[in-house]
Amino acid sequence: MCGICCAVSFSVEHFDKDLKEDLLCNLKRRGPNSSKQLLKSNINYQCLFSGHVLHLRGVLTAQPVEDERGNVFLWNGEVFSGIKVEAEENDTQIMFNYLSSCKNESDILSVFSKVQGPWSFIYYQASSHSLWFGRDFFGRRSLLWHFSSLGKSFCLSSIGAQTSGVASQWQEVPASGIFRIDLKSTSISKSVVLKLYPWKYNSREDVIKECVNSLTQISADLPTFVSVAANEAKLYLKEPVVPLNMILPQATFEIHCSSISSVPPSRETLQVFLTDGHMKEVVQQFIDVLSIAVKRRVLCLPRDENLTQSEVLNTSNRKANVAILFSGGIDSMVIAVLADRHIPLDEPIDLLNVAFMTKEKTIPAGFNKKGRKEKNNCEKRSEESSKNVTAAAAANPGEQFNVPDRITGRAGLKELQAANPCRIWNFVEINVSLEELQRLRRTRISHLIQPLDTVLDDSIGCAVWFASRGVGWLVTQDEAKPYQSSAKVVLTGIGADEQLAGYSRHRVCFQTHGLEGLNKEIEMELGRISSRNLGRDDRVIGDHGKEARFPFLDENVVSFLNSLPVWEKANLTLSRGIGEKLILRLAAVELGLTTSALVPKRAMQFGSRIAKLEKNNEKASDKCGRLRVISLENLSVEKEIKT
């Protein structure tokens, strides 16, 4: 994980040799282990490169990196496959070596077509005065662009500025392909032309049509002096996953479905599917490919290899290197079981479980009468009193934070402890009061969610920020003590619902349009996941100096699931808790899970109870006013606190 930024100016009088303080601060939060800036000046333009590194593999490599020909590279990514990176090597340097040896555009596209893993990058090619940049196929790493109203400068950055009035001008770079800007010609023509090298859909005949549609959509959101055009050579990146299998079943399948749908929803229902030899084999293949994806994501990070024997035996003081956003639902449970396979046994795993204070608060025993009188006015509660509330609730678990995800999380913890009692499972109860939510949204979270701006973005963005921060209570049978997760890697289950028909809208679509409509819905879900979820989640998690990793969006996992007919992934003739994400539930049974295999899908905003916490009449798609105002006054307060 890194914070990368490049500020470009075509006018000397408008060029600032320093990044804005708040932008620089936001970038440093993402990359706390190394910070460096590099200025490249040309008679026609100036480029300020800024790199901030979170060190996770190989030798710490400061960014930006520059070679003897003046090429400059900024990399925020992980090479999990496709290009060989040895355990002791740093993928930033490996990628830069490949790019430095590229002789033409086709060579550059070939490099990025091979990489499997999340990435965003900025690459300055000195000989051609070209600036290349882009995000991976799924958009798993954030990259924003901002064009000045005068048309004399622009900026690319992992994250936007925090200053009032500026945040809304940042937009996400579409994960439509790789872009290139000819800086020299732009400075002469005074207009910015973005050349697009899109992902190629191998099996489709409408490649050109897809590209035209993409260009039109991108251009619609840009200033008038910025245009997007297909590259003259009509070169493309090779899409990293196979196309979605859209095949529809024969009538015999429908008869089979109706016979199974009469079976009561229980673990035995899942066992019925596993009596089919073909289905059992498919499920095992899914477990294998997902297990490899998890393995790549939990082993690519530094560990304490030089511990003494006594330190190894004293597991109580060992720190977790990997954390999981954990609700006890099917997605996080399967990830936890597979992570347990590959993480060294003497290393704890942090299970991060977030809950927001419910409005109907039951003050734990021992609170004074004054506290009881103020229970419906938590906005006015002091920060110290708020801490007391969460501490008391952790020590005496009551109804305040007894939200659905807390209940299923505790149940999931018991399953994991039974499956591997030798592992230390740190169940971290993260309790958030309304006052703390409002204060930190205003001062720390709003700009991370932007440019997304809906009520849904607010709910999920805030929930993920608090969860991934990992500050909470380690609750055991004996005690509850304050705890802060030290894990730099955070695994999330995003991508499972999109591919396996996990949302309620999938069931509605199936009931209305059948399997054909469901196929189209799943295809759309994958197509928009970069703009709908992943950039936001990367910005939110990265703010803590941690890296989000998404096993369900591993290229091989997606290709495997895309290759299956839809009825082998989900059966929405069955009830909730069985039919959605059927193949994942079957995998859970094969992995030895019990109750969690039947937990119905519950969206994070409802499971954590952040939805409707402040307004009951909001719709998820409404614009969220709470995200719009980032006042300079709040920034001043934050600076005073820091100093």
Distance, in Å, from the CA atom of 22 to the CA atom of 20, rounded to the nearest integer, reads 6
How many secondary structure helices (H) and strands (E) does the chain include?
A: 23, 21
Active site residue 2: yes
Residue 123 near residue 133, CB atoms below 8 Å: yes
Residue 246 near residue 171, CB atoms below 8 Å: no
Burial class of 153 by CB neighbour count within 10 A (0 to 12, 13 to 18, 19+): buried
Q: What is the DSSP letter of 403?
A: -
Tokens representing 426 are 């740190």
Name the catalytic one among 2, 47, 300, 509. Answer: 2
With CA atoms as reference, report the closest residue to 229 among 241, 242, 218.
218
Distance, in Å, from the CA atom of 150 to the CA atom of 286, rounded to the nearest integer, reads 52
Q: What is the DSSP string of 589-620?
A: HHTT--GGGGPPP--HHHHTT-TTSS-SS--T
**Token pair 């059992």 is at which residue?**
280
Amino acid at 197: Y
Residues 6+ apart with CB under 8 A from 387: none
Cα distances (angstroms) measured from residue 640 to each of 435, 636, 643:
20, 6, 5
Looking at the DSSP bridge assignments, the partners of residue 147 are: 154
With CA atoms as reference, report the closest residue to 42 among 128, 138, 151, 157.
128
With CA atoms as reference, report the closest residue to 90 among 124, 55, 121, 120.
55
Cα dihedral value 141, 147, 148, 154, nearest 10: 70
Tell whether the torsion through CA atoms of 570, 571, 572 and 574 is positive or negative.
negative
Tokens representing 560 are 């495997």
Distance, in Å, from the CA atom of 568 to the CA atom of 282, rounded to the nearest integer, reads 8
Residues 6+ apart with CB under 8 A from 449: 457, 458, 461, 462, 536, 539, 540, 627
Tokens representing 367 are 């609170």
Residue 63 near residue 51, CB atoms below 8 Å: yes
Strands 177-182 and 130-135: antiparallel
Amino acid at 554: D
As annotated, the active-site residues are: 2
